[in-house]
Amino acid sequence: MRTPTEWYLVVSALLFTIGTVGVLVRRNALVIFMSIELQLNAVNLSLVAFSRQWGNLVGQVLAFFSMTVAAAEVVVGLAIIVALYRKRGSANVDDASLLRW
């Protein structure tokens, strides 16, 4: 039996929400970044599910581009975290308070 598309959407919603809560709750910049990756993956899952639902491959192509952009984004983000760590001596986002009044 084929699994319904809605199930994938609900799983994707759950994963996306867990990622969102992770971004809001955690203080370590690296774990926040991992949560963002989780959100990107959840969206990819729903894209591929929609691709099957509509019977064309554009959703998969979009997920592929999303993965590429995510790879570039991870590299730049990790470099920023390393630069921040060198400057402030910690990867805690609460310590990066340069722009606070």
> Which DSSP string corresponds to 14-68?
HHHHHHHHHHHH--BHHHHHHHHHHHHHHHHHHHHHHHHHHT-SHHHHHHHHHHH
Interface residues for other proteins in 65-94 (CB under 8 A)? 65, 67-76, 78-83, 85-87, 90-92, 94
Shortest Cβ 27–other proteins spacing (Å):
6
One character per residue 18-57, x = contact with other proteins (rule: CB under 8 A): xxxxx-xxxxx-xx-xxx-xx--x--xx--xx-xxxxxxx
For residues 84 and 96, the answer to whether their CB atoms sit within 8 Å is yes
For residues 31 and 9, the answer to whether their CB atoms sit within 8 Å is no
Shortest Cβ 101–other proteins spacing (Å):
15
The answer to whether residue 96 forms part of the interface with other proteins (CB under 8 A) is no
